[in-house]
């Protein structure tokens, strides 16, 4: 494939059985062949996306010493990550210079204070979010966007279920207390030549069930490695989101669906000025205790399970700690 499939998901919710099947077939084809697709018909308002960009850029424009007050603790995935603090290639055991980006991340925004949520392990998946006090609009806009992404992710998981030959609600009780991290990634301009081998984000696969990404159109963007071994550009289309699968979904489907290598490249040197880039990424992750083992429609006598059992929480925490630089990795007890 040399292009990313575009799928209108609105008929799945608005149409009948044939419409649902048609959408699910398109998604199944994209997930089987490339693991990436572009969705329209999601219902997210353009105004909310504009508001998100505005408050997020305002935060990244704050002085570094102010941003570092919300620096991410090693025992959770919340807060600010400065330039040079992550190398995504390390998640695949490949060394590279640190990625040329900074980010801010939050987790779930609506959950009760009960035994289930307090017991989340191995990471503190329901730890309180951190918020910049100097930007009063930041928290309400981010929380509104997070809830919208929850809605879209639930719709996608129901489409996934039908595409995999199961009831559309199969995943509902596995994602109703999800542990999704939402991150806004800021790729600054590059007035100086990057280090040898340094990219805005090194080649990696995502970790969870799916990612919903809203990138902008600045130079130096997202690329996907297709099955022919070619890096192809992911276009930025108005009114759409990019969706890709993570490693957990590939394992869950016994490699019927694929989690694909992707990267964010540097801008051409003649476009380095004005190349600032912002991407909003909802890294959907099922409930921390959701059992991840081969789905019933993805194995058989001629396709035995390739992976053992794990849980969503164990899987993502292992991946997160691989890509952190040493000062952000929790100390062992």
Residue 130 lies in a domain: yes
Name the band, by pLDDT with cuts 50, 70 and 90, for residue 219. confident
Please check whether residue 210 is in contact with residue 284, taking contact to mean a CB–CB distance below 8 angstroms. Answer: yes
Q: Residue 148 phi/psi, 5° resolution?
A: -65, -40
Give the predicted TM-score (pTM) of the model: 0.92
**Domains: count for the chain:** 1
Q: Distance between CA 159 and CA 161 in Å, rounded?
A: 5
Sheet holding 262-264, edge to edge: 201-204, 262-264, 222-225, 231-233
Is residue 332 predicted with pLDDT exceeding 60?
Answer: no
Give the CATH number, domain containing residue 79. 2.60.120.330
Mean pLDDT, rounded, for 314-321: 83
Please check whether residue 288 is in contact with residue 125, taking contact to mean a CB–CB distance below 8 angstroms. Answer: yes
Q: What does DSSP assign to residue 77?
A: S
Name the band, by pLDDT with cuts 50, 70 and 90, for residue 330. very low
DSSP string of 108-130, one letter each residue:
-SS---SHHHHT--SS-TTPPPP
Is residue 86 predicted with pLDDT exceeding 50?
Answer: yes
Residue 226 lies in a domain: yes
Q: Which two tokens stand for residue 89?
A: 């290639």
Residue 333 lies in a domain: no
Residue 320 lies in a domain: yes
Residue 200 lies in a domain: yes
Mean pLDDT, rounded, for 284-302: 96
Residue 248 lies in a domain: yes
Residue 68 lies in a domain: yes
In 3D, which of 42, 135, 126 has the Cα closest to residue 78? 126
Structure confidence at residue 88 (pLDDT): 55
Residue 1 lies in a domain: no
Q: Which domain holds residue 265?
A: 6-328
């Amino acid at each position: 494939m040399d292009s990313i499939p575009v799928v209108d998901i609105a008929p799945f919710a608005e149409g009948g059985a044939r419409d649902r099947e048609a959408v699910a077939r398109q998604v199944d084809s994209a997930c089987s062949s490339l693991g990436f697709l572009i969705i329209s018909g999601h219902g997210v308002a353009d105004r909310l996306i504009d508001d998100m960009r505005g408050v997020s850029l305002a935060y990244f424009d704050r002085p570094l010493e102010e941003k570092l007050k919300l620096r991410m603790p090693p025992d959770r995935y919340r807060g600010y990550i400065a330039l040079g603090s992550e190398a995504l290639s390390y998640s695949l055991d490949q060394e590279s210079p640190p990625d040329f980006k900074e980010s801010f991340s939050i987790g779930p925004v609506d959950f009760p204070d009960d035994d289930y949520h307090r017991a989340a392990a191995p990471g503190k998946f329901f730890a309180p979010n951190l918020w910049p006090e100097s930007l009063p609009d930041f928290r309400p806009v981010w929380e509104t966007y997070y809830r919208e992404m929850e809605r879209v992710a639930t719709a996608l998981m129901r489409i996934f279920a039908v595409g995999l030959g199961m009831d559309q609600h199969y995943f509902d009780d596995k994602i109703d207390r999800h542990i999704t991290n939402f991150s806004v990634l800021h790729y600054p301009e590059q007035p100086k030549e990057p280090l040898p081998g340094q990219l805005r984000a090194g080649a990696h696969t995502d970790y969870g069930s799916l990612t919903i990404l809203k990138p902008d159109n600045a130079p130096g963007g997202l690329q996907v490695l297709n099955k022919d071994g070619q890096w192809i550009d992911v276009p930025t289309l108005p009114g759409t989101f990019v969706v890709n699968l993570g490693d957990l979904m590939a394992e869950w489907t016994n490699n019927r669906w694929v989690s694909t290598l992707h990267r964010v490249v540097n801008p051409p040197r003649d476009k380095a000025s004005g190349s600032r880039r912002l991407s909003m990424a909802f890294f959907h992750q099922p409930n921390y205790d959701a059992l991840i083992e081969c789905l019933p429609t993805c194995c058989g006598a001629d396709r035995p399970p390739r992976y053992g059992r794990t849980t969503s929480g164990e899987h993502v925490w292992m991946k997160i700690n691989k890509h952190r630089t040493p000062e952000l990795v929790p100390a062992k007890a």
